[in-house]
Amino acid sequence: MADTVSSRKSAKVATKAAKTSLAGASGPKLLSGGNPQIAKGYGDAPVQAYIAAMTDWKSDVGRRIDALIAQAVPDVSKAVKWNSPFYGVEGQGWFLSFHCFAKYIKVAFFRGTSLQPEPPGASKQKDVRYLDIYENDGFDEDRFSDWVRQASQLPGERM
């Protein structure tokens, strides 16, 4: 009897491991709007996993956003929190995050009202401003890089 119970447990463990392996092979789960579900983590690796899991044109734009941020702030800190990449400066906090929606990428500048000129998207949060990037609109990389430099010099958010 003990051998039968042990065999059943072994079979269940093997089945669960196989399902987990298959799920991992298909890539990260996409949440509503196509936002990748990536485990919370600090450093470049989880951010790169998030960007790789972004669908269609969003992945290319995500790589470009990441490269522009790294170029503007060479010592930038990175993390994935709440299924979104975050960028900050050690000791100052987070200054920017982005998130995928069905038809666009929303970039949040946490102290956006202090940027000149302010990013165009208003927020219910008093200091936050947004930049929405759509597939065929492109975005002004020079303006974006300038906002990133400005934002990185402001006190960041502690999250």
Has residue 159 been placed in a domain?
A: no
pLDDT per position as a tens digit, 117-155: 999 999 999 999 999 999 998 789 999 999 999 999 999
End-to-end CA distance of the chain: 53
Q: What are phi and psi of 87, to 5 degrees?
A: -130, 140
- Split into its structural domains, the chain has a count of 2
Assess whether 56 and 14 both reside in one domain: no
Has residue 158 been placed in a domain?
A: no
Assess whether 78 and 6 both reside in one domain: no
| Domain coverage including residue 21 | 1-27
Mean pLDDT, range 96-110, rounded to an integer: 96
